[in-house]
Amino acid sequence: MSLTYQQQYVLDGLAGRAAILNLDARHNRLYSDGDLVGWITTFRHSGATYVRSGESFNDLRTAFDGGGGLRLVTVDHEIVVDGVDATQKCVALLLRDNQLQASGTFTDRLVYERGGWYFTSRALEWDHATRESALSV
């Protein structure tokens, strides 16, 4: 039994979404473990960019600030798959010793190549806490 074009499109989109969620989990785990080389492998082989709070990085090695007891978690994924391209928006939570340190939003562009999904660009904008709700240091 063959699928209609619409059925195949929906199936491919669901498979892409599941694979992107797995990519997110791997990206977060590698960040949390402080694994720079593994973290970089979640990005496109060449030409990927990373933006954090307006600071742009073309060299992903200089963008990496993971490990050191931090744990990155992403939730509320909004993923749109269109063939070999996808976009994603999700909430980032940064924890240290199970205490929330920061929250923000990732805005991503992804591509399917070499048999898997990779980030082509990842932009993280941290939320700004009001002075009244800021944690004392």
Residue type, 88: Q
Give pLDDT tens digits along the chain (137 positions). 798 989 988 888 899 999 999 999 999 999 999 999 999 999 998 899 999 999 999 999 999 999 999 999 999 999 999 999 999 999 999 999 999 999 999 999 999 999 999 999 999 999 976 555 555 55
Structure confidence at residue 63 (pLDDT)? 96
The Cα–Cα gap between 104 and 85 comes to: 24
CATH number 3.10.450.50 is the correct assignment for the domain at 5-128: yes
Structure confidence at residue 13 (pLDDT)? 87
Contact partners, residue 115, CB within 8 Å, separation at least 6: none
- Nearest-5° angle of CA 19, CA 122, CA 95? 85
Contact partners, residue 87, CB within 8 Å, separation at least 6: 79, 80, 107, 108, 109, 110
